[in-house]
């Protein structure tokens, strides 16, 4: 794996990590694009330096090859002049430059292959950065959607929390119970401290009113016969009372006994009411 492939993977990992950890992923995404452009510029400089080294090796190869050719030409000139010793020295110098040219040639070919790989990797990295720029808006939309999903999840979690509603229902039940207890106390107080006979007649009158209302409703709906008109008043008949006789002694005694019994009954009722009032006060 080349250096630029590892760099591309590192950039991708950094983007995912920053998006996960950043408080504002959109701003961090913009910063990542800026950083990627900065890294691209730095790597372009490095590739340019590699190309410079490759061109320098190429010039050295050409220079040494030219030197070898020049000394060969000189050796040929010495041979024409009949100076074999000088020709041998020229050939030795030609051999030396040819060897250097061969070494520089090997280094140049290796550097050239490396430069070609770096150029390819740099183009791929540039394409990835351009793709990231094009997908920036898509990533922003995904970030916004993720935030919305988080807000919806938090809202649903809050709706599932029924503690406040349960407390409200408990308070409502408690208030209803207090109202029922108050009504029961009021009924008991009216039952045992008021005039029970008057209370009974009051209930009877209320029931009679309801019955009258129900009859009127039925007559209005036609499910009951209409009310009959009241008969004309009848003149009162005057009767002459016969002279009353004086009650006999046994009858007078009976009336006196009834009055005494009624008085005792009233005293018992009053005593019972007094005891009930004392009990309610306690």
Q: What is the Cα–Cα distance from 29 to 146, expressed in whole angstroms?
A: 15
Claim to verify: residue 62 and residue 154 sit in the same structural domain: yes
Claim to verify: residue 43 and residue 105 sit in the same structural domain: yes
Claim to verify: residue 141 and residue 64 sit in the same structural domain: yes
Claim to verify: residue 152 and residue 50 sit in the same structural domain: yes
Q: What is the Cα–Cα distance from 97 to 118, expressed in whole angstroms?
A: 31
118, 139, 160 — which closes off a domain? Answer: 160
177, 193, 209 — which closes off a domain? Answer: 193
B/e letters for 28-63, b = 16+ CB within 10 Å, e = fewer, are: bbeebeeebeeebeebeeebeebbeebeebbebbee
193, 214, 239 — which closes off a domain? Answer: 193
Claim to verify: residue 19 and residue 137 sit in the same structural domain: yes
Task: Return the percentage of the chain with pLDDT > 70, whole number.
Answer: 67
Residue 218 domain-assigned (yes or no): no
Claim to verify: residue 99 and residue 177 sit in the same structural domain: no
Residue 132 domain-assigned (yes or no): yes
What is the total count of domains within the chain?
2
Residue 60 domain-assigned (yes or no): yes
Claim to verify: residue 184 and residue 147 sit in the same structural domain: no
Which is more confidently placed, 144 or 252?
Answer: 144
Residue 56 has pLDDT above 50, yes or no: yes
Claim to verify: residue 118 and residue 19 sit in the same structural domain: yes
Residue 244 domain-assigned (yes or no): no
Per-residue pLDDT tens over the stretch 59-97: 999 999 999 999 999 999 999 998 889 989 999 999 999
Q: What range defines the domain where residue 174 resides?
A: 164-193
Q: pLDDT category, 243, cuts 50, 70, 90?
A: very low
Q: pLDDT category, 242, cuts 50, 70, 90?
A: very low
Residue 247 domain-assigned (yes or no): no
Residue 145 domain-assigned (yes or no): yes
Residue 146 has pLDDT above 50, yes or no: yes
Claim to verify: residue 113 and residue 32 sit in the same structural domain: yes
Claim to verify: residue 87 and residue 149 sit in the same structural domain: yes
Which residue in 54, 49, 52 sits closest to 111, CA to CA?
Answer: 54
Residue 37 has pLDDT above 60, yes or no: yes
pTM for the full predicted model: 0.42
**pLDDT for residue 192:** 56
11-15, 149-153, 170-174, 276-280, range with the lowest pLDDT: 11-15
Claim to verify: residue 108 and residue 168 sit in the same structural domain: no
Claim to verify: residue 152 and residue 183 sit in the same structural domain: no
Residue 42 domain-assigned (yes or no): yes
Q: pLDDT category, 178, cuts 50, 70, 90?
A: confident
Residue 152 domain-assigned (yes or no): yes
Q: pLDDT category, 238, cuts 50, 70, 90?
A: very low
Q: What is the Cα–Cα distance from 142 to 281, expressed in whole angstroms?
A: 74
């Amino acid at each position: 794996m080349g250096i630029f492939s590892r760099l591309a993977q590192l950039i991708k990992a950094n983007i995912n990590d920053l998006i996960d950890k950043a408080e504002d992923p959109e701003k961090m995404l913009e910063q990542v694009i800026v950083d990627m452009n900065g890294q691209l510029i730095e790597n372009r400089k490095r590739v340019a330096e590699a190309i410079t080294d490759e061109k320098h090796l190429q010039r050295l190869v050409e220079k040494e090859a030219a030197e070898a050719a020049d000394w060969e030409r000189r050796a040929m000139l010495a041979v024409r002049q009949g100076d074999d010793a000088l020709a041998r020295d020229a050939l030795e110098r030609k051999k030396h430059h040819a060897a250097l040219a061969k070494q520089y040639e090997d280094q140049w070919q290796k550097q050239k292959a490396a430069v070609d790989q770096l150029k390819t990797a740099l183009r791929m990295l540039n394409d990835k950065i351009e793709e990231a720029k094009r997908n920036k808006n898509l990533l922003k939309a995904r970030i916004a959607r993720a935030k919305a999903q988080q807000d919806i999840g938090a809202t649903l979690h809050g709706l599932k929390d029924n503690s406040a509603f349960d407390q409200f229902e408990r308070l409502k039940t408690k208030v209803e119970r207090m109202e029922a207890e108050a009504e029961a106390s009021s009924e008991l107080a009216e039952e045992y401290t008021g005039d029970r006979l008057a209370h009974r007649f009051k209930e009877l009158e209320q029931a009679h009113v309801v019955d009258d209302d129900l009859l009127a409703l039925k007559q209005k709906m036609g499910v009951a016969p209409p009310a009959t008109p009241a008969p004309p008043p009848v003149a009162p008949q005057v009767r002459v009372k016969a002279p009353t006789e004086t009650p006999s002694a046994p009858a007078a005694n009976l009336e006196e006994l009834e009055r005494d019994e009624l008085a005792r009954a009233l005293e018992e009722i009053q005593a019972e009411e007094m005891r009930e009032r004392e009990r309610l006060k306690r």
